[in-house]
Structure 1
Amino acid sequence: MKNNHTTTLKEAIQLLKLKQDQELLELKDQYYYTYESLKPVNIIKKAFGQMTQSSEFRGNVLSNVIGIASGYLTKKVLVGSTHNPVKRILGTLLQFVITNVVTKKTEKTIDNEMLRD
């Protein structure tokens, strides 16, 4: 009878040790995962990944790129590469105005397209 209780206790101890080893491995895995996810590089990558998934963000970036490119090209075509300071200032103002107008127009167009879908 005493031998049976001792065997049962030893088996229970062995099971608890196995459980403890398994939980220690899980804890180490969770620690590593948490450590990696809290690195600044990974936080930034995750945030940027979430932003790029947003169709609104992509639409804003696209409209800004189109606006900036339009303004720059307009300035280069109309003003060229002049050394006259007045023409350069007027060219920069023209670039600013064209960039803003095109950006706002493309934002509205992209928003309307997203509403239709």
Structure 2
Amino acid sequence: MCLGFTRSKRILRDLVIQRIHILRDLSHEAIRRGDVELALVASSMIFRLSMRNSVRLPKEIKRGFCKKCRAPLIPGLTAMVRLRRKGSRKLRIVTCLLCWNIHRLELKQG
């Protein structure tokens, strides 16, 4: 008996991940053109796809969107990125320029 994903679930997961990457690229391109509505629709489709198919989003995609308004976080266009030091910890602070939500991420040492 085989443990883990069956072949069909693995194929479905790969297709969903491919579609998520395509929608992320569409969302980023829409923001660069100035079409915020299209970017928000594409990003909401990303989260809906992942929830509906029970697929965990990769970290680089999940951290690339605002948790509050789901806008793509592009430095200079929709996000302000600051690097801070707090004692021995290093923090990456990303502020969404659409809803002013703040995301803090501790950076690894090294």
Task: Compare the two structures and name the one with the higher helix fraction.
Answer: 1
Task: Compare the two structures and name the one with the higher strand fraction.
Answer: 2
Identify the TM-score tier after normalising by the shorter chain.
0.3 to 0.5
Q: Determine which structure has greater relative contact order: mean sequence separation of CA pairs < 8 Å that are 6+ residues apart, divided by chain length.
A: 1
Please give the TM-score of this superposition, normalised by the length of structure 2: 0.33
Please give the TM-score of this superposition, normalised by the length of structure 1: 0.31
